[in-house]
Structure 1
């Protein structure tokens, strides 16, 4: 079986579209379709069925996809390890880091560098939806992001949820709030909430919880970065927000109250995410296996 055809097949499964897979592979659609057809002829099975605008793997196709991912991982690992042994070259890790968990994942990345000073570490910091796209395009090896809302097409290692806290500009209240602070009472305040550039995420989860509690939240602004929200609240924006506790340092917020929330919904799930066709980075997995996160406030 030709490995290139197998790799093309896996990419089509992950995209659910030959045209989208062709774009990610930087090739024209007809040659890619021909490679898939050749693979079906070689195996004498149908690998895909059409569902509306998407194509999905048949039972045989899904089996080949799972096995194919394992084979491609083994081939990539073997090639990389052989090259490292033979050439002793600097390796490169391409990691995506979401704004949402910059503080949470900081110790992990610092420890990764400490243990591998010879490794070139390239980190792209942006929002989770963009990092998912970069993963799919092959522009990064893995992403440290919010656990995918829809997990199809991704493998991930999920960490324990991070406690949610409310940050309230002091001008919003007549005095210090109760701690914990009522989740429904937050709906009475102007809110600035995190919102992904596209697709669903923590914002939709929070709004759904407000609705289920029978209240309508007054959201005055959406921002993609926790740091920007905190800066603006501290600067004087009369509003409140809900953030993962890992990203909030109460000692640096003299103009805000930082309180826990009751009931405390589990919304923020950090995760290490990759494509099924890519291998986990052993250097990172070693750190995680030894008990990361070592110290968190959440």
Structure 2
């Protein structure tokens, strides 16, 4: 059954006359009468009792009319929903995020909830290597990750919005912070402190950059723990297990009560991050809208 013909039938039933229905549909009366005749022939039933002044639905016509309202209403709702999803007003935003750069996700998430409450957000946490794999496998559309990306390890190409570079800081429990003098710490003074460092599950990343900075400074670091989860490192630091070296913005995304933070004065590397998505892949409306906002903020 042609949905256009079904819409013609419903309009005729609503108006009670073919003349008024044709006027509402902005078409001539003879073609509309022909469409009604073809529908009745297709169904092999009479849909209207044709009086002199108006048309009355037959029992079969009344049954079809109720179904037509449901069918056409569903189609209209579907069209509206698809358009809303493409515009970013509703749908699902599938994001991967590295905990060490979770801070940069807070603003867009707040904006999404305030302005597009019908958008559902799916978050997946992981280190850069894990999230790049998830994106290649299309489990997520976009990811907030730390450099280096090691793009050469993957078979697909990516585009990115670069986020601000930031310094690494030392986070230590307030109890153990008494052993550190001053408002900042020199790398040479860290050789005797158990350090907690971020380390990817696979590939080179922040760990290698931080270790390289120690070596260039002529310092042998005392590594107590390696972990890809920044929140776990901060919890270990709070428990007095050691001192965590993390990007400064990480401390803006997680509770820091009980921790004291020190800039590392002579560390010659910075933490870098980016919002990454797969090049030439179709992106959902919510994702496109978020990326547009992030470009405006960071002018990437």
Does TM-score exceed 0.5, indicating one fold?
yes
Deviation at 1:279, TM superposition (A): 5.0
The alignment partner of 1:162 has SS state of coil
Matches within 5 A, 1:58-73: none
Matches within 5 A, 1:125-144: 125-144=125-144
Deviation at 1:186, TM superposition (A): 1.6
Indicate conservation of the 8 Å contact 2:99/2:250, yes or no: no
Distance 1:206 1:263 in 2: 12
Matches within 5 A, 1:108-147: 108-147=108-147
* TM-score normalised by L of structure 1: 0.63
Question: Counterpart of 1:244?
Answer: 247
The alignment partner of 1:177 has SS state of coil
Question: Do the aligned partners of residues 97 and 252 (structure 1) sit closer, same or farther apart at CA in structure 2, a change above 3 Å counting?
Answer: closer
Q: 1:238-270: CA deviations, max 9, x gaps? A: x21211111225995454431111124343212
Indicate conservation of the 8 Å contact 2:100/2:250, yes or no: yes
Indicate conservation of the 8 Å contact 1:91/1:120, yes or no: yes
Indicate conservation of the 8 Å contact 2:161/2:298, yes or no: no
Distance 1:180 1:217 in 2: 17
Distance 1:204 1:189 in 2: 18
C-alpha RMSD of matched pairs (Å): 3.1
Question: Counterpart of 2:277?
Answer: 274
Distance 2:219 2:291 in 1: 42
Distance 2:90 2:178 in 1: 58
Question: Counterpart of 2:233?
Answer: 229
Indicate conservation of the 8 Å contact 1:159/1:271, yes or no: yes
* TM-score normalised by L of structure 2: 0.62
Distance 1:270 1:249 in 2: 15
Question: Counterpart of 1:283?
Answer: 289
Deviation at 1:204, TM superposition (A): 0.6
Which residue of 156, 159, 163 maps to 1:159?
Answer: 163
Which residue of 172, 185, 188 maps to 2:189?
Answer: 185
Indicate conservation of the 8 Å contact 1:176/1:257, yes or no: no
Structure 1: runs of 5+ lacking an equivalent: 1-79, 294-298
Distance 1:94 1:183 in 2: 39
Indicate conservation of the 8 Å contact 2:148/2:206, yes or no: no
Q: 1:182-223: CA deviations, max 9, x gaps? A: 123223311111111111110010011111111211101112
The alignment partner of 1:248 has SS state of helix
Q: How many residues in Structure 1 have an aligned counterpart in Structure 2?
A: 213
Matched, 1:262 2:261: no
Q: State the structure with more CA Rg.
A: 2
The alignment partner of 1:289 has SS state of helix
The alignment partner of 2:149 has SS state of coil
Distance 1:161 1:198 in 2: 23
Indicate conservation of the 8 Å contact 1:207/1:217, yes or no: yes
Distance 1:147 1:276 in 2: 18
